């Protein structure tokens, strides 16, 4: 084990590695926010009084939770293009270039996270006492106002803790995006290993980085 090389990579990781680290965090944040939106829609859909909506949302949760993240990412990026259904392409947003693989990774991770967030949201909503909802309705509140003023504030207390745990998981899951070519820290580490032959030292560095990221969030 080359301790000098290991310490050097920690103290002076270099601009490419820092860019990859920023890309990792950005990907996790965007996927988590989009997954939260999906989870809110699907979670409330699972509580809908319409059987069709409940069934559709339940199928989404069952289907997505049964597919490995790696398979989902590859299907979105390579599978859909091969089938002629959709092909991601690079775009510019406010002067920032979003590569096709980055877009596919964010969407794929968000779709996967949305299935788990839906269950978290559903459990949070169901934790609100039914009597409070009925009391709000008796005061003349509309269903939307009851949801916004009564249900969501109380459900948030139940939703936030598992949401934090899920974000920790998301930070680590971003490493799977390397399979579709996203230049995050794991893929960059693999490329550096091929040129320096310091695989164990570099993998130790990236493992330490993930540990620090999750520790900071905790």
Cα 25 from Cα 135, distance rounded (Å): 43
Cα 47 from Cα 125, distance rounded (Å): 9
**Residue bearing the bigger pLDDT, 174 or 143:** 174
Encoded tokens for 68: 């490995």
Residue with tokens 């829609």: 41
Cα 25 from Cα 185, distance rounded (Å): 10
Q: What is the mean pLDDT of residues 38-56?
A: 90
Partner residues linked to 92 by β-bridges: 97
Residue 87, SS3 per DSSP: coil
**Residue bearing the bigger pLDDT, 5 or 106:** 106
Q: What is the mean pLDDT of residues 81-110?
A: 88
Averaged confidence pLDDT in the chain: 86
From first CA to last CA, the distance across the chain in angstroms is 30
Count CB neighbours of 94 within 10 A: 4
pLDDT category, 58, cuts 50, 70, 90? very high
Q: What is the mean pLDDT of residues 15-29?
A: 90
Q: What is the mean pLDDT of residues 168-187?
A: 89
In the 3-class helix/strand/coil scheme, how is 110-171 assigned residue by residue? HHHHHHHHHHHHHHHHHCCCHHHHHHHHHCCCCHHHHHHHHHHHHHHHHHHHHHHHHHHHHH
pLDDT category, 32, cuts 50, 70, 90? very high
Asked whether residue 217 carries a pLDDT value surpassing 80, the answer given is no
Note the pLDDT of residue 218: 66
Cα 66 from Cα 45, distance rounded (Å): 19
Partner residues linked to 97 by β-bridges: 92
**Residue 144 phi/psi, 5° resolution?**
-65, -40
Asked whether residue 148 carries a pLDDT value surpassing 80, the answer given is no
Partner residues linked to 53 by β-bridges: none
Partner residues linked to 91 by β-bridges: 98
pLDDT category, 109, cuts 50, 70, 90? very high
Helix (H), strand (E) at residue 91: strand 91-93
**Residue bearing the bigger pLDDT, 134 or 172:** 172
């Amino acid at each position: 084990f080359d301790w000098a090389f290991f310490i050097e990579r920690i103290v002076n990781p270099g601009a490419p590695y820092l860019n990859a680290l920023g890309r990792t965090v950005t990907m996790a944040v965007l996927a988590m926010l989009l997954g939260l939106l999906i989870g809110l829609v699907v979670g409330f859909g699972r509580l809908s009084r319409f059987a069709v909506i409940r069934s559709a949302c339940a199928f989404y949760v069952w289907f997505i939770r049964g597919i490995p993240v790696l398979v989902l990412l590859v299907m979105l990026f390579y599978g859909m293009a091969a089938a002629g259904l959709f092909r991601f392409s690079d775009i510019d947003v406010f002067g920032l270039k979003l590569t096709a693989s980055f877009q596919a990774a964010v969407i794929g991770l968000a779709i996967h996270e949305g299935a788990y967030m839906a269950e978290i949201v559903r459990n949070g909503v169901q934790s609100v006492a039914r009597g409070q909802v009925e009391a709000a309705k008796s005061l003349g509140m509309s269903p939307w106002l009851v949801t916004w003023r009564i249900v969501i504030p109380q459900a948030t207390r139940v939703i936030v803790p598992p949401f934090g745990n899920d974000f920790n998981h998301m930070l680590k899951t971003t490493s799977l995006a390397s399979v579709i070519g996203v230049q995050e820290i794991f893929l960059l580490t693999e490329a550096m290993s091929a040129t320096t032959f310091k695989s164990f030292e570099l993998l130790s560095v990236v493992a330490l980085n993930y540990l620090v990221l999750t520790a900071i969030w905790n």
